[in-house]
């Protein structure tokens, strides 16, 4: 029994197993001849047939195992339309693991030969590019060059207005506050810059460009900010847009010298109180009459921004009623109290006077 155990421990290949089967057969035949004193041809044939059957099964299982574990290797490269290598492209074959391209665009993966077919169809995808299907030939697995084209994006998927806009003026200078939504549907990081709004009347005869600005102490200053968007990122930002009026800036400086900071700190807005001199009030109303731009009817709003090297533009409209325009102009009647003039009080409504009107713009660009 110890000899048999040693032999069993040594069985690690089909050949050694076949040797064990033959050894057992020979032992059985020897014991049979010793007991009977004569050979038994029938028994010998039966045992030999059994041994040959076991040997055949072992050999076939070894061949089947070798065939099952055999793999086919597919390889190639993924590039864009300009021939530049694309990193991170996924190459997937249903039922197989597939692979991804590296920084050089190269990829390689294997599939079990047991799943081999006349051809394999792989799905190739990468964010920002049009997905496609590629056919691999398992009998001639030569390297495949895959060219992906950039996905076209509608401008509505990149730039949009979110919610309401505030249409107003500051001493007649037209201003507009809006929340702008930026999205980067591509596979590359993008710098957004040169954000602006252009407005025009329904007839298009009057057009006014409102660049992105910042309001600091009532002073309108250009904003030179840039926005970086990662692939797939969506960012919503509130912006102020205004005409840059040198007269307004000069007036604010004159106002600060005349009143100082005590007005804003010590007093609350009261339309019955007179804070400004007749000269300051007269000059403020002259600017209101000269610079007020908003008109009754439909106003077209064009929002633009540069995404990388691409200029994206969206069109919207909103409507101002006669009451809206009259209310915005009526704030001039209260300029003597500082309401509508002092930076901190420029948006305060008084009775029927409202320097700011909240509206909901409607997109007239093609639906994304």
Question: What is the number of other CB atoms lying within 10 angstroms of the CB of residue 140?
Answer: 6
348 shares a domain with 253: yes
Q: How does pLDDT run across 6-46, given as a tens digit for each residue?
A: 444 444 455 455 555 555 665 565 566 656 555 555 555 55
Average pLDDT over residues 52-57: 61
212 shares a domain with 246: yes
Number of H helices, E strands in the chain: 7, 18
Q: How far is CA 155 from CA 158, 184, 293, 343, in A?
A: 5, 11, 29, 36
Name the pTM for this structure: 0.58
Q: Is the pLDDT of residue 203 over 70?
A: no
C-beta of residue 171 within 8 angstroms of C-beta of residue 288: yes
Pairwise CA distance, residues 138 & 142, whole Å:
9
Domain of 333, CATH number, reads 2.60.40.10
C-beta of residue 89 within 8 angstroms of C-beta of residue 146: yes
Q: Is the pLDDT of residue 301 over 50?
A: yes
Q: How far is CA 295 from CA 43, 242, 289, 318, 348, in A?
A: 114, 16, 13, 11, 21
118 shares a domain with 12: no
195 shares a domain with 167: yes
217 shares a domain with 337: yes
77 shares a domain with 56: no
368 found inside a domain: no
Pairwise CA distance, residues 198 & 328, whole Å:
20
Average pLDDT over residues 180-193: 84
Number of separate domains in the chain: 3
């Amino acid at each position: 029994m110890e000899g048999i155990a040693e032999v069993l421990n040594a069985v690690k290949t089909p050949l050694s197993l076949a040797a064990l089967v033959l050894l057992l057969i020979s032992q059985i035949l020897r014991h049979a001849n010793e007991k009977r004193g004569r050979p038994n041809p029938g028994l010998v044939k039966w045992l030999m047939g059994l041994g040959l059957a076991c040997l055949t099964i072992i050999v076939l299982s070894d061949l089947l195992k070798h065939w099952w574990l055999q793999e086919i290797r597919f390889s190639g490269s993924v590039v864009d339309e300009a021939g530049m290598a694309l990193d991170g492209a996924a190459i997937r074959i249903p039922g197989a693991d597939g692979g991804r391209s590296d920084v050089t665009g190269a990829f390689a993966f294997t599939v079990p030969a047991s799943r081999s077919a006349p051809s394999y169809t792989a799905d190739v995808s990468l964010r920002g590019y049009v997905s496609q299907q590629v056919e691999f030939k398992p009998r001639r697995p030569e390297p495949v060059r895959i060219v992906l084209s950039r996905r076209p994006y509608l401008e509505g998927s990149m730039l949009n207005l979110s919610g309401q806009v505030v249409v107003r003026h500051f001493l007649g200078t037209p201003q507009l506050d809006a929340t702008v939504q930026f999205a980067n549907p591509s596979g590359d990081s993008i710098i957004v810059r040169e954000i602006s709004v252009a407005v025009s009347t329904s007839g298009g005869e009057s057009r006014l460009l409102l660049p992105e600005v910042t309001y600091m102490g009532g002073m309108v200053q250009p904003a030179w900010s840039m926005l970086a968007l990662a692939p797939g990122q969506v960012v919503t930002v509130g912006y102020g847009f205004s005409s840059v009026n040198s007269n307004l800036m000069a007036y604010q400086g004159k106002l600060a010298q005349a009143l100082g900071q005590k007005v804003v700190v010590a007093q609350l807005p009261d339309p019955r109180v007179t804070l400004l001199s007749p000269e300051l009030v007269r000059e403020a109303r002259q600017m209101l009459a000269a610079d007020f731009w908003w008109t009754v009817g439909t106003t077209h709003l064009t929002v633009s921004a540069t995404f990388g090297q691409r200029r994206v533009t969206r069109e919207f409209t909103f409507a101002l009623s006669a009451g809206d325009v009259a209310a915005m102009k009526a704030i001039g009647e209260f300029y003597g109290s500082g309401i509508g003039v002092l930076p901190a009080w420029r948006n305060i409504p008084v009775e029927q006077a409202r320097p700011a009107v909240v509206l909901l713009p409607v997109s007239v660009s093609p639906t994304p």
